[in-house]
Amino acid sequence: MAYSDKVVDHYEHPRNVGSMDKDSTDVGTGLVGAPACGDVMKLQIKVSPEGIIEDAKFKTFGCGSAIASSSLVTEWVKGKTLDEAAAIKNTDIANELALPPVKIHCSVLAEDAIKAAIKDYKSKSGQTEDEKAAG
């Protein structure tokens, strides 16, 4: 199966690989696994007091598409609000990377990971969905 140039680029030069202190109150951590293949993805965000994602890091134990998906997502979320980041869809990722159908679940993993990281950050910072809606 041929990978797209963008997948290969992110796979060979992954952006934002690394870890942040998961106990830090301004860091949200999402750790998700793909039941289909056993791959694991950790994605972390660092959030400013204004609710902007200042930094993002990932570590992925998985295939090239999973690594490319998480690399791409860390680039996309930087500078975004939590709501904007939560709106990222796996289809956006799959389209950008031109993933073939059998690799769609790799992009789902990245969507799940960013959502989990946002949820973790919110629960740590004591934000409820209502407070978020109120601004």
Residue ranges that bind ligand FES, judged by CB under 6 A: 34, 36-37, 39, 62-63, 65-66, 103, 105-106, 109
β-pairing, 53-61 with 40-47?
Answer: antiparallel
* Residue 105 CB, nearest approach to ligand FES (Å): 6
Between residues 27 and 94, which has the closer beta carbon with respect to ligand FES? 94
Q: Which among 18, 22, 24, 37 is annotated as catalytic?
A: 37
Residue 70 burial by Cβ neighbours in a 10 Å radius (0-12, 13-18, 19+): buried
Beta strands in 11-52 (DSSP E): 27-33, 40-47
Could you say which of 53, 72, 85, 106 is catalytic?
A: 106
Least spacing, CB of residue 103 vs ligand FES, in Å: 6
Does 63 participate in catalysis according to the annotation? no
Q: In what order do the strands lie in the sheet with 40-47?
A: 27-33, 40-47, 53-61
CB nearer to ligand FES: give 34 or 86.
Answer: 34
Active site residues: 37, 106
